[in-house]
Structure 1
Amino acid sequence: MDWFVAPEYWLSRLVFQRALAVVYLVAFLTAALQFRALMGERGMLPVPRFVARVSFRQAPSVFHLRYSDRFFAACSWAGCAVSAALVAGLDSQVPLGAAMVLWLIPWALYLSIVNVGQTWYSFGWESLLLEVGFLAVFLGNDEIAPPAVVLFLLRWILFRVEFGAGLIKIRGDACWRRLTCLDYHHETQPMPGPLSWFFHHLPRPLHRAEVAANHVTQLIVPVLLFTPQPIATAAASLMIVTQLWLVLSGNFSWLNWITIVLALSAVRYSAGAPAVAGPPLWYEVLVLVVAAGLVCLSYHPVRNMISRGQIMNRSFDPLHLVNTYGAFGSVSRTRYEVVVEGTADDVPREDSDWREYEFKGKPGDPRRWPRQFAPYHLRLDWLMWFAALSPAYAGSWFGGLVERLLENDPDTLRLLRRSPFPADAPPRFVRAGLYRYRYTTWRELRETGACWHRTFVREYLPPTRLATPMAQRR
C-alpha cells in the first residue's frame, strides 16, 4: 500500500530514533544513579511500601512481581545498555520484528520505573517519553519505509505538547496575557542554569517580545505541522529554535530535548530515499490497529485541552499511552529556597555551629553560580523547589530526607554536592530555614561576585534529631 509508507522521511526517522535513544539513555542513567536514596528499600519513598498498597492494574510494573535494590539497578542498567545499542543503530542491523522488540524493552522498563516512582516521577516529561517511546516501537527500521500514520501520530503528540502548553498559559496566569511573565520566570524557575541570570537581566521590552513569540510558537505554529511541505518543516524548525532558546535559559530535565526530538521527525530532509521492500502484512495490520486505538484514547486529552478547566501533565491510562501536557500555567513572582543545615553540638542554639548542606543544582551559596545539568535530571533538587513553595508538597518525603542526613546515609549524600560533616561523624541536629532569593544586580555582581542575594524569612523545620541515637540502633 503506497499510502501506508512515507519513504521521503527515512532520514527523519533515522535522526528521530537515534535522538530518542539518547534521551532514553539519560533517563535510565538518572534512575540508576539516584533511585536508592529516593525510592529504594531504605529510600525516602520505598517502592516495596508503594506496591503493597497500589495494585498492578493501577500501576503496571515489573516491580510488582518482585523488588530489590539489586533488581531495580539491573533494570536501570539494562535500560542503559539497550538505549546505547539503539544509539549505535542495532535496530537497523536486525530483522523488523527484532527491532520492534528492541524498542519495546526500554519502553516497558521505563514504564515500570515511572509507575512506582511516585512523586519523584510525577512530571510531564516522564509521560512524554513513554508516549513517544511507545510510538517508536512501530516506526520500523531500514527494512521498510517509515509508516505515514506513525509519523502523523508523532506530529499529533508535538501538537498537543505545544498547543496545550500555550492554552494553559493564556488561560492561567494573567502575566502571560500581559506579556510580563518573563520579568519573573528566569529568576523563579525551578532550577536556573548558568545563563539564567543574564536572561533575567535582558531589557524588559525584549522579555515582552519573548512572551509574544512564545504565544505564536505554541498557539499558531503547531497547526502548520499538518500542512504540506515545506511549511511543516519550517514550523518544526521554528519549534526547535524555540526549544533551544529554552535549553539555554534553564534546566528543564529532558522536556525541551524530547520536544526537539519530536520536531525532528516532522522535518523532511533533502536526501533521497533508499530502495526498500514493502512492509509485511502483519506489520501493516498491527500499526493500523495500534493507531486506531491511540486515536480513540486521544478523546480524553483533547477534551481536557478544550476545557476551561484544563489541567497540566495528566495521564489518562496506566500505560501512559496518550497524555495531556503543559507547563508554567502560573509563574511565581518571588523565589524561596529551603536551606538545610546541621550541627554537631549537643544542644542546638541559634549561635551553634550550623553548617549548610550544598545541593548540586538548586540555589544555595549566593556566590555559587548555577550549572547546566539538563537533560540529566536532579530529582531531589527539583522537588526542593516545590518544598519551598509549600511544605505540603514535601510532606511525604522531607522527613525522610532529614532522617537520612542525620544518619549520614551514603546514598543520600551522593545526591548532594557537599555534606559539611565527615562520613564517620553525622550531625546531632538538622534544621531548615526558608529564604527569599533574588538575582543580584550588575553592580552587586561586580562588587560581591555573588549572583544571588538571600534574606531569611522564617523557620521551615526546627532543630530535629533522631528519636533513637545511632549508637543504640547499632
Structure 2
Amino acid sequence: MPLPSPLSWYSHHLPHWFLSLVQVFANVSEIILPFLFLVPIRSVRMTSFVFQIVLQICIVLTGNFDFSNMLLVTLLLSLLDDQFFYGRKKSLSKWSIVGTIFNVLIHGAILYGVVLLFSLKINGTRINSEIAFTKSQFDNILGQGLTYTIHFGLLSLAGTVLYTLSNVLFDNQGTGSKTFGIISTIFYGVIAILLFFSNTVPLASLHPASNSTINPAIRATYNRLHKLHAVNQYGLFSKMTGIDGRPEIVLEGSNSIEGPWKEYNFLYKPGNVNHSLPFVAPYAPKLDWQMYWAAYSTYDKQPWLLSLTHRLLVGKSEVLALLDKLHSPFVQQPPKYIRGILYKSKSAWWTREKVGEYFPAYTKDSPGLIEFLKARNLLPTISKQVVNPIWKQALDTIRYITNHLEATLLFWAVFTAGLALICTSGSSKKISQNTFYYTGLFYFMYFFL
C-alpha cells in the first residue's frame, strides 16, 4: 500500500493462517459477492452490502487509500432503500419470506463453494485455507461468468423497471400524478438501461471471451459517453506491488560530497524507521503518494522529483512546507548536495535495507540537473505579471494559516462537525452543544491516538 497506517504493522504480523483466511474473505467479497448486487431481492442485496462495508472498514483501518474507500461506500449506498433510511417496515408477506429463503440458499451455496474452492479445514483453533483451483480454471469461469452476468443484470434491470411501472399504473392516484409517474419512470428507466449497456463495455473487457461478445453499437455508445466520464473503469492497482519488499526513496542532503548525509523526512510516507505513521485517509497527500510510485520507476522518468530536489537545494519555503520540518535537516539553510537513495522495506516499515543510489548527488547549479529541468520547462521562473496586491495579501494570509494546520485533523474536524449537525435534531442550542461535544471528542481521540 502507498501509505501504511499505524495498524498496518500489526496486521502484517498476524498469524499466517489468519491472513490467508482474510485473503479468502477479500477475494469472495470483491469477486463473487458484487454479482449479487444485481439480484432483485432486498435481503440478498443487504447481506452483500454488509460484507462490502466490513471489507471497506478493514481496508481503511490497515491502509491509507485516500478517499477511494469513501467513494466505494458512496456507491454501495445505492443498494439501500427507503426502508433502510426511514425505517419504513413492510408487513410480513409471502414474498418477503420467499426472499429470506432465497437469501439463505444463495449465501449458503456461496459458503459451500468457498469451502470447496479454498479447501477450508478446521485444525484445532485454526482454519486452514488453500486454493483448490488452477489459473486456467479461474480464467474459464471468469470468461463465462461475465457473459452470464451481463445477461442476468439486463433481465434484473428490465424486471425492476417493469415492476416500478406496474406500480405506477395500478396506483390509485389522479390522472396528472399517474401521467407524471409514468413519464418519469420511463425517463429514468431509459437512462438506467443506457448506462447499463455502457457499463457492459468496461465489465466485459476484463476477459477476452466476454469482450468479443459486445455489440459494436454498444461500444460506440460507450465511447461517446466516455467523454462525459459517466461510465468508467475503476481500480487502484492493476497488479500487486511490494510483494518482495517495499521500495522506498529517501532524499539525503549534505554540505560535502563526502558526507555526512542527513535524511529528509516526509509527513506521511515511511521514512525514519523509528517513527510510526498516522491515519491520513481520506486526505490524499499527493507528494507522499507520488514518492511511493516513483520508487517503482527511474528518476529520469519522474521529472517532478528532480524539480523537487532543485527547489530543496534553493530553499523554497513552499516545498519545505510539504515535508516534516520538525524531523528534517536543512530547514533554515539548504544543503549544497542532495541525493536519492533507494531502500527496500521488510516487514512493513520498521526495518529496511539499502539497495543503492536512486539518483546521484546534485547541487543547485549542477549542469545535468539544470539541463534536465530546462528541457522540461520545470525551472522556477519569476512572474512579471502584475498582481493585485490586496488579493495577493489575502491569499498569502490564507496559505500561511492553512500551512500551520495539520491537514488530516482539519478535514476530520470539519467532517465531524458537519456530521454532528446532520445527526442531531432539536433546538439550535441543542445542536450547538452536540456539535461542540462531538467535535471536542474527536480532537481528544485524535491527539490521544
| Amino acid across the alignment from 2:339 | R
- How far off is 1:434 after superposition? 0.6
Is residue 260 from structure 1 mapped to residue 95 from structure 2 by the alignment? no
| Amino acid across the alignment from 1:335 | R
Per-residue deviation, residues 342-363 of structure 1 (Å, max 9, x unmatched): 22x2x422x33x2211111111
Which residue of structure 1 lines up, in the alignment, with residue 341 of structure 2? 433
Which residue of structure 2 lines up, in the alignment, with residue 212 of structure 1? 24
Which residue of structure 1 lines up, in the alignment, with residue 245 of structure 2? 334
Which residue of structure 2 lines up, in the alignment, with residue 320 of structure 1? 229
Compared CA separation, residues 458 and 224, structure 1 to 2 (3 A)? same
| Amino acid across the alignment from 2:252 | E
What is the TM-score of this pair, normalised by structure 2?
0.53
Determine the C-alpha separation between the residues in 2 that align with 1:221 and 1:280.
33
- How far off is 1:409 after superposition? 1.9
Which residue of structure 1 lines up, in the alignment, with residue 402 of structure 2? none
Determine the C-alpha separation between the residues in 2 that align with 1:309 and 1:253.
32
Determine the C-alpha separation between the residues in 1 that align with 2:300 and 2:186.
46
State the secondary structure of the residue aligned to 1:455.
Answer: strand
State the secondary structure of the residue aligned to 1:220.
Answer: helix
Identity value in percent? 31
Assess if the C-alpha contact under 8 Å between 1:437 and 1:454 holds in 2.
Answer: yes
Compared CA separation, residues 386 and 468, structure 1 to 2 (3 A)? closer
Determine the C-alpha separation between the residues in 2 that align with 1:308 and 1:397.
40
Determine the C-alpha separation between the residues in 2 that align with 1:245 and 1:393.
37
**What is the root-mean-square deviation of aligned Cα atoms in Å?**
3.3
Question: Equivalent residues in 2 for 1:284-433 (5 A)?
Answer: 287-288=188-189, 290-307=191-208, 317-328=226-237, 329-332=239-242, 333-343=244-254, 345=255, 347-349=256-258, 351-352=259-260, 354-391=261-298, 394-418=301-325, 419-423=328-332, 425-433=333-341
State the secondary structure of the residue aligned to 1:375.
Answer: coil
Which residue of structure 2 lines up, in the alignment, with residue 460 of structure 1? 358
Compared CA separation, residues 330 and 456, structure 1 to 2 (3 A)? same
Which residue of structure 2 lines up, in the alignment, with residue 59 of structure 1? none
Determine the C-alpha separation between the residues in 1 that align with 2:77 and 2:227.
28
- How far off is 1:215 after superposition? 1.3
- How far off is 1:402 after superposition? 0.9
Assess if the C-alpha contact under 8 Å between 1:191 and 1:361 holds in 2.
Answer: yes
| Amino acid across the alignment from 1:378 | P
Which residue of structure 2 lines up, in the alignment, with residue 31 of structure 1? none
Question: Equivalent residues in 2 for 1:13-32 (5 A)?
Answer: none
Determine the C-alpha separation between the residues in 2 that align with 1:439 and 1:287.
51
What is the TM-score of this pair, normalised by structure 1?
0.50
Higher relative contact order (CA 8 A, sep 6+): 1
Uncovered stretches (5+) of structure 2, i.e. residues with no partner: 90-172, 212-221, 371-380, 383-449
Assess if the C-alpha contact under 8 Å between 1:383 and 1:394 holds in 2.
Answer: no
Determine the C-alpha separation between the residues in 1 that align with 2:275 and 2:336.
27
Determine the C-alpha separation between the residues in 1 that align with 2:17 and 2:79.
32
Which residue of structure 2 lines up, in the alignment, with residue 229 of structure 1? 42
Compared CA separation, residues 230 and 299, structure 1 to 2 (3 A)? closer
Determine the C-alpha separation between the residues in 2 that align with 1:416 and 1:208.
37
| Amino acid across the alignment from 1:434 | L
Compared CA separation, residues 412 and 288, structure 1 to 2 (3 A)? farther
Assess if the C-alpha contact under 8 Å between 1:386 and 1:394 holds in 2.
Answer: no
Question: Equivalent residues in 2 for 1:159-174 (5 A)?
Answer: none
Assess if the C-alpha contact under 8 Å between 1:363 and 1:370 holds in 2.
Answer: yes
Which residue of structure 2 lines up, in the alignment, with residue 272 of structure 1? 88
| Amino acid across the alignment from 2:68 | L
| Amino acid across the alignment from 1:298 | N
Report which stretch shifted further, 429-438 or 191-200.
429-438
- How far off is 1:286 after superposition? 5.8
Assess if the C-alpha contact under 8 Å between 1:435 and 1:454 holds in 2.
Answer: yes
Determine the C-alpha separation between the residues in 1 that align with 2:2 and 2:365.
33
State the secondary structure of the residue aligned to 1:239.
Answer: helix
Per-residue deviation, residues 17-69 of structure 1 (Å, max 9, x unmatched): xxxxxxxxxxxxxxxxxxxxxxxxxxxxxxxxxxxxxxxxxxxxxxxxxxxxx
Per-residue deviation, residues 232-270 of structure 1 (Å, max 9, x unmatched): 111111100111011111111111222122222312416
Per-residue deviation, residues 131-165 of structure 1 (Å, max 9, x unmatched): xxxxxxxxxxxxxxxxxxxxxxxxxxxxxxxxxxx
Per-residue deviation, residues 376-411 of structure 1 (Å, max 9, x unmatched): 111111111111122169523211111121122222
State the secondary structure of the residue aligned to 1:261.
Answer: helix
Compared CA separation, residues 415 and 234, structure 1 to 2 (3 A)? same
- How far off is 1:281 after superposition? 8.1
State the secondary structure of the residue aligned to 1:389.
Answer: coil
Count of aligned positions: 265
| Amino acid across the alignment from 1:203 | P
Per-residue deviation, residues 243-302 of structure 1 (Å, max 9, x unmatched): 1011111111111222122222312416129xx988678866764554344234324302
Uncovered stretches (5+) of structure 1, i.e. residues with no partner: 1-188, 441-450
Select 2:15's aligned residue among 203, 207, 210: 203
Which residue of structure 2 lines up, in the alignment, with residue 242 of structure 1? 55
State the secondary structure of the residue aligned to 1:463.
Answer: strand
